[in-house]
């Protein structure tokens, strides 16, 4: 049995630097045609061109703000009309929200994160699922966060909205299972890249340490003594999105180098 994504169509939201880009390259290299979605049209088009040139696959750029319900609703339909269907969805797009104690939360900020992390993500997922049902099955992969397990202070906006997405996705796994549609979650640890570098520099400024010292200390706290790369996340996503993971649904896979257990 061919368990690659050859001949399949995948939709990736939040298709920007880091995890979105790595997922796009991995899935296209495995044979999938792609519909890439993000808010900013210019970098999105550049990524689509990069992936198409590197892999020879059809790659469609669809500027989309999934916090806007109409925009989120149109994504899967546009991808299906242009590429012939939707077999997999990877929801990388996320809104972190401001760091604030619950007592100080700005509800407008909370509302925006909820609209993107929960409503927009689920709207993309359920619209895509309608096309998957017609095709006899498919796969939905959500990107989670370790903060739903570690519940850090001043991250209630991000943690609670991602928790709601997590729970709703597990319910979707039960509801869509009879249609041969799988729903799973990949939860990263500290992902190398510009965002993580900025985090280390911010902590370094507050502690008097160097950014490298802060990074090394965090790495030592993980069981594997390292951080994870965007490509590590993409490999887990590819497994779940393709027929390699055909027996897996309703599962959260933590790709965190053992950060949570470290």
Looking at residue 1, its pLDDT comes to: 60
Q: What is the pLDDT of residues 12-63, one digit of tens each?
A: 999 999 999 999 999 999 999 999 999 999 999 999 999 999 999 999 999 9
Domains in the chain and their CATH numbers? 9-191+229-255 (3.40.50.720), 193-226 (no CATH)
- Altogether, the residues listed in the chain come to a count of 262
Looking at residue 116, its pLDDT comes to: 97
Rounded percentage of the chain residues whose pLDDT exceeds 90: 96
Q: What is the pLDDT of residues 59-104, one digit of tens each?
A: 999 999 999 999 999 999 999 999 999 999 999 999 988 899 999 9
Calpha distance 246→239 (Å, rounded):
9
Calpha distance 55→33 (Å, rounded):
10
Bridge partners for 253 per DSSP: 186
Looking at residue 97, its pLDDT comes to: 85
Calpha distance 79→252 (Å, rounded):
26
To the nearest whole number, what is the mean pLDDT of the chain? 96
Known catalytic residues? 158
Calpha distance 135→244 (Å, rounded):
18
Instruction: Tokens for 98, please give them.
Output: 């401001």
Count H helices, E strands: the chain? Answer: 10, 7
Query: Which residue is listed with tokens 């490999």?
Result: 235
DSSP state string for 100-159? B-GGG--HHHHHHHHIIIIIIHHHHHHHHHHHHHHHT-EEEEEE--THHHH--TTBHHHH
Task: Indicate the pTM of the whole model.
Answer: 0.96
């Amino acid at each position: 049995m061919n368990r690659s994504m050859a001949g399949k169509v995948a939709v990736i939201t939040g298709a920007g630097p880091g995890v979105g880009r790595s997922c796009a390259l991995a899935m296209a290299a495995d044979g999938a045609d792609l519909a890439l979605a993000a808010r900013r049209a210019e970098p999105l088009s550049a990524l689509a061109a990069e992936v198409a040139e590197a892999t020879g696959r059809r790659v469609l750029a669809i500027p989309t703000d999934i916090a806007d319900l109409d925009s989120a609703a149109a994504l899967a339909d546009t991808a299906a009309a242009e590429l012939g269907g939707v077999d997999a969805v990877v929801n990388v797009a996320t809104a972190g929200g401001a760091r604030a104690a619950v007592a100080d939360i700005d509800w407008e900020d909370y509302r925006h994160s909820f609209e993107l992390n929960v409503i927009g993500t689920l709207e993309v997922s359920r619209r895509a699922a309608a096309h998957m049902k017609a095709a006899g099955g498919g796969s939905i992969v959500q990107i989670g966060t370790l903060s739903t397990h570690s519940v850090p202070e001043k991250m209630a906006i991000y943690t609670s909205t991602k928790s709601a997405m997590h729970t709703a996705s597990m319910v979707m796994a039960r509801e869509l299972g009879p249609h041969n549609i799988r729903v799973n979650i990949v939860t990263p640890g500290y992902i190398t890249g510009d965002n993580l570098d900025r985090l280390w520099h911010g902590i370094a400024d507050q502690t008097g340490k160097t950014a490298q010292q802060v990074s090394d200390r965090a790495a030592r706290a993980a069981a594997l003594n390292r951080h994870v790369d965007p490509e590590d996340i993409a490999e887990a996503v590819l497994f779940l999105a393709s027929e390699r993971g055909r027996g897996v649904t309703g599962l959260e896979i933590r790709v965190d180098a053992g950060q949570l257990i470290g």
